[in-house]
Amino acid sequence: MAKVAALVLAAGRGTRFGAEVPKQYRTLAGRPVLRHSLERFCSHPAISQVCVAYHPDDEARYQAAVAGLELTPPVVGGSTRQDSAHRGLEQLAEAAPDYVLIHDAARPYLRAADIDNLIEALQGNEAALLALPLADTLKREEAGRVADTVPRAGLWRAMTPQAFHFDAIRRIHQDHAGQEHTDDASLAEAAGLSVALVEGSAKTMKITREEDLEMMEALLSQAPRRIRVGSGYDVHRFSEGDSVRLCGVDIAHNATLAGHSDADVGLHALTDALLGAFARGDIGQHFPPSDPQWRAADSAIFLQEAARLLRAEGGQIDNVDVTLICERPKISPHREAMRARIAELLALDIDDVSVKATTTEGLGFTGRQEGIAAQATATVSLPPRSQQSQAPGAEG
């Protein structure tokens, strides 16, 4: 399978937008504009690496916008879009991809199918770009009046991503350095490449002015986010020891919990609840007990990784609820510390975190104090299906 890289250009200053925060870092549907297309690329199975060209003044904004995403280290962009693309391509050269998709960070709306179609177009073409046939009649202006009507037949609006064979577009950028083309396809055309048109969606519009951001916000908020609930359950047996760890809090006890990791039954149930909410398998699949690196591991790692995976797909945790089932130790004195610890690990408000406990009236294995059980639920919301890259399913 061809190795496909994505290069996202985000080094512009957004002078036409004219806000203090550059447009690619403005908030759209709860996340920075830049993050929207990065999530699409990162979760697309055909894309092997994603790199951003950014402006050094945006260092802190960049780090906040990409938290949890797996990206190639970013490259500092140049003073023109073309220069930023050139630098990005040089950065990607080491990994030697076969193809590259170059994309404007200012186009947050991107469909998985568009990525597929562009990659497919490269099988038989030297280059391809996402574009849209013009619908409006075009007028040429002179001194505030119509000079003439331009026939729109055969005219398309160029958008991004634009797709290329990596070595070819890298060489073209090297040969044309310092010129100022407003997209990479026009550079390729100038170099004599034949460029295919792939019809995209009008929603892949570029955010240029404040009004564009408002339009995009309205567009995205029409498609409801998908509310999902996951549940988890876990049990660990008691063994000889003097403390147990429950929901991230160490509690003195006349026994400990046995397990490969720290045996934090509460966090294990909660991790499974999170993974279940977006159908990403279970804790054993992500952190096999047979793997020595998880021996005595702090279960906070498992919980945080599940949250990272969820957020990398644009998911959001709405609330979590854990029930610990045991006769002893008594949970209520530690309940607030447990809620605080979970809220900290998941970066949630403490009001969105519940910890409860119950005994089983002396019945069953928990009643006989042979071990502790825990169950948990998590409510999450995922981006609208139309923007998703792939149907969610258990990881293989």
Per-residue burial over 352-369, b = 16 or more CB atoms within 10 Å of its CB, e = otherwise: bbbbebeeeeeeeebeee
Per-residue burial over 283-295, b = 16 or more CB atoms within 10 Å of its CB, e = otherwise: beebbeeeeeebe
Classify burial at 252, counting beta carbons within 10 Å of its beta carbon; exposed 0-12, middle 13-18, buried 19 or more. exposed
Stretch that binds ligand CTP, among 6-14, 167-175, 220-228, 369-377 (CB under 6 A): 6-14
Q: Which of ligand CTP, Mg ion, none lies near 106, with the C-beta cut-off 5 to 8 A by kind?
A: ligand CTP
Minimum CB distance to ligand CTP, residue 182 (Å):
7
DSSP conformation class of 15: T
Q: Which of Mg ion, ligand CTP, none lies near 97, with the C-beta cut-off 5 to 8 A by kind?
A: none
Q: Does 253 bind ligand CTP (CB under 6 A)?
A: no
Query: Site for ligand CTP (CB under 6 A): which residue of 3, 31, 176, 206?
Result: 206
Minimum CB distance to Mg ion, residue 212 (Å):
14
Instruction: For 95, list phi and psi in degrees, rounded to 5.
Output: -80, -10
Spatial separation of the C-alpha atoms in residues 235 and 268, rounded to whole Å: 9
Spatial separation of the C-alpha atoms in residues 263 and 257, rounded to whole Å: 6
Closest to 314 measured CA to CA, from 228, 377, 236:
228
Stretch that binds Mg ion, among 12-20, 83-91, 110-118, 213-221 (CB under 5 A): 12-20
Sites for ligand CTP among residues 23-62 (CB under 6 A): 24, 53
Q: Which is nearer to ligand CTP, 86 or 280 (CB)?
A: 86
Q: Does 383 bind ligand CTP (CB under 6 A)?
A: no
Minimum CB distance to Mg ion, residue 279 (Å):
40
Contact 112, 40 (CB under 8 A): yes
CB atoms within 10 A of CB 200: 26
Query: What character string, x for contact with ligand CTP (CB under 6 A) and - otherwise, covers 101-120?
Result: ---xxx--------------
Q: Does 91 bind ligand CTP (CB under 6 A)?
A: no
Positions touching ligand CTP (CB under 6 A) are: 9-17, 24, 53, 77-81, 84, 104-106, 206, 208
